[in-house]
Structure 1
Amino acid sequence: MKGFNLSDWALNHRSLVWYFMLVFVVAGIFSYLNLGREEDPNFTIKTMIIQANWPGASVKETVQQVTDRIEKKLEEFDSLDYTKSVTTAGQTVIFVNLKDTTKARDVVPNWLQVRNMVNDIKAQFPQGVQGPFFNDRFGDVYGNIYAFTADGLTPRQLRDYVEDVRTKILTVPNAGKVDLVGAQDEAIYLEFSTRQIAALGLNQQQIVASLQAQNAITPSGVIQSGPERISVRVGGQFASEESLRAINLRVNDRFFRLSDVATITRGYADPPTALFRFNSQDAIGLAIGMKPNANLLKFGEALHEEMDKVLAYLPVGVGVH
């Protein structure tokens, strides 16, 4: 009995073989032309950072009341490989690492489970603990980073312009994550005069408590007028440093201006959380990523076209590099 001979079959069916060869060639060319092109492909990092702050606490208190509770809860997590923590006075940072056998598609659901587990014990933390905060976005890749510098503008003004640029960049087809790098957060500082506080017979805690009460948002009731129901809101929240200077505080049935006991100034967070510099000059970076499986060449052309439009409306003094 003669077996099946593939070569003999192909020679006897040449037309069908040529047909399949042409179909495969066309399909291959079509697939190649539609392949995603990324200069820096995304990759999965199986590590999450959990951070919590407890201002005023010692290292021992932070370890016992915050760090240990989080790590013991995470021991119940099936995909956990190990945890590593760094605890200082008033702050804890915990690194959560998944097992190497964890598949990439399962990483995001695992991080969601970690968040739920830690949030379940949040009520057990002492009063005053801030957080916990989670960070698992280590695999983001930015193919383009622009540096914005300013001559004659404040960092706040430059940040506003960069925020406007970010909004426009997000409209570019296939634009992914767009983040600001090195933007400084504004802060209002109160520098109390111990001499003035002592002369008025006050203490700093009383003043802070009065400020918190003044700035609180609380329900003020409603007015029922026939079929209409009108909500009543009481103003007085602080909107700027000028509103703080003009505020009258009541402590121990005495009224005084906050500016009588404190110097009020607007500045930036010190120390800064991150800095971005270009050619030894302070700048704000705009990091632009692309959506997965998109075409880098087409995205780059659309991005450059949009940036040309952006440069046309930026004021004199703002440089883009």
Structure 2
Amino acid sequence: PVGFPVQFRVVGPDTQMVRKIAREVEAVVASSPKVRDVQLDWNDPVRAMKVQIDQDKARALGLTPSDVSMVTQTVMNGATLSQLREREDLIDIVARAVPQERLSLDTLKDINLYTRQGTVVPLSQVATVQHELEEPVLWRRNRDMAITVRADVKDGEQGVTATQEIRPMLKDIQAKLPSGYRIDVGGAVEESAKANDALLAVVPLMLGTIMLLLMLQLQDFSRMWMVLLTAPLGLIGVVPALLAFQAPLGFVAILGIIALGGMIMRNSVILIDQIQIEINEGRDPWNAVLDAAIHRTRPVVLAAAAAVLAMIPLTSSVFWGPMAIAIMGGLTVATLLTIFFVPALFAAWFKLRRHQPADGTDPAQGQLVPTA
């Protein structure tokens, strides 16, 4: 889960400067027609009560910062005096000042502090109490302050598409960033990049496993490489399909392309295996290629049609739509190409030639042909 699909992180050492830059980025993101609910992951500064101790006066009276802190914490937050048992639960008994006293600066200034000599002095004699604005939550990233400008996308929009559209609009802000400050892209783009990296890490293992399985099935290096060469045929149909439906080529679409490659290689294995069966039965290699292509066209087309039709309900999904579109477009084109490309590739790979018998019959048609 990404949370907000559109995210831009403003990172830098100074809190106020980071917030200022984040406000500028927020205004740019909000101007995009594809996003909504633009916000920061930092809340607005809140009013806090700060006690500033005069160290010289406190030491003169025999008070330490911990003494002052203990008294103020007891008044503000309370101190646990005991516990009350109610059946199996223990309930803390907390003593603290009433709300009217806790929220009043004048009352806090008159809090009595007991020195080690037994004298009583008011808090105002050794410290100043005042209200200040401070950040309620501070997020850091690699030890730097980081504010994330985040937004949701409108219905029918993709987080990756919206992010790519907003990035050029931030160039003016990035050009005038002070040294040590930067704007990072997060959200769907960042998560997609992480997923792609994780996917690429297992590609060598995936290819090795595919080659092993093909070798076990075909038991021939030439036929194995022939099947592998048919896998990219799906890209011829994937690109136009994604462009026609304006679907992004993201992580989900890449998953569809990988699955598509497996479907295409399966069809190629079926066709090449049938050719080998025909040849093993004593058929002429040229005729074996033709007969295998004819006999396997219907099952290959029906299997591809079933897969394409099964993807139709997913095309309306914002998340799974790109995968379904990639499979539908790629499998439709690749199936048609496989029926013609694989037999032609097989004949060219093994240098098959049409054999002309001496009796003048056409081996492909079984009919007489004119002879000189």
Same fold (TM over 0.5): no
Bigger helix share: 2
Bigger strand share: 1
Larger radius of gyration: 2
Per the normalisation by structure 2, the TM-score is: 0.28
Per the normalisation by structure 1, the TM-score is: 0.31
**Greater relative CO (CA pairs within 8 A, separation 6+):** 1
